Amino acid sequence: MTMDEQNLRNEIVTFGAMLYERRLAHGAAGNLSVRLADGSILVTPTNSSLGALDAARISKVSPEGALLAGDPPSKEAFFHLAVYEVRPTAAAVVHLHSTHSVAVSCLCHQDTSDVLPPLTAYHVMRVGKLPLVPYFRPGDRRLAEAVREAARSHHAMLLANHGPVVAGKSLRDAVYACEELEQTAKLFFLIGDRPSSPLTCEAVAEINTVFPN
């Protein structure tokens, strides 16, 4: 095992514990993955709690999903692989069942191409447009194709009645983007039906120019 792989295994443990302590993960819900330099993927094992990961037991799989080392991977690893397939710059993927983000994913949306308003500059910078991927039952491999299609043009998405999937140039970036998404979802519900002032199209365009994803 290379030093880089060991460091990334330790990083998964650290961020998993942080997400669990911040109540963005619960039970055995949610999974994290990172891509190694050789193209193989480290992903949290099936039925594991993000709050109690063991670096040595984290799954290592090929880009096609074959187990190379560690415990059997998360049953949701297949949609992590779909993201990596179409986003060559993605080095990590975070999937959570965080409360407010999941709540947004359960709502009816007239426009499923972007289901949260640009309430803050940080949401625009770290999340951007947030499409809603149609519902598929857990384990349904058709979800991989739906995620793959959304990931071609978005690094963040919501799975309907399920939760967020966010890719990043590092695990830290993906985790921070997931946290920003959850905070924006929380603001969305706190504001409710009261008059609000999301960022204008001009403001969003300026942010995207100065801080390109």
- Out of 76, 179, 180, 182, the active site residue is 76
Task: Report yes or no: 98 and 163 within 8 Å, Cβ to Cβ.
Answer: yes
pLDDT at 71: 97
If one compares 212 and 50, the residue with the highest pLDDT of the two is 50
At residue 57 the predicted structure's pLDDT band, cuts being 50, 70 and 90, is very high
Active-site annotation holder among 122, 135, 149, 176? 122
Which residue in the block uniquely carries the two structure tokens 């030093």? 3
Mean pLDDT of 83-107: 98
Give the model's pLDDT for residue 138.
86
The pLDDT assigned to 77 comes to 96
Read off the pLDDT of residues 168-199 as tens digits, 9 standing for 90 and up.
999 999 999 999 999 999 999 999 999 999 99
Identify the pLDDT of residue 193.
Answer: 92
Residue 213 has pLDDT above 80, yes or no: no
Mean pLDDT rounded to a whole number for the chain? 96
199: exposed, middle or buried (C-beta count within 10 Å: 0-12, 13-18, 19+)? Answer: middle
Instruction: Look up 20 and say whether it is catalytic.
Output: no
Judge whether residue 95 has pLDDT over 90: yes
pLDDT tens digit string along 109-166?
Answer: 999 999 999 999 999 999 999 999 999 998 898 999 999 999 999 999 999 999 999 9
Residue 211 has pLDDT above 90, yes or no: no
CA atoms of 76 and 163, how far apart (whole Å):
12
Residue 122 annotated among the catalytic residues of the structure: yes
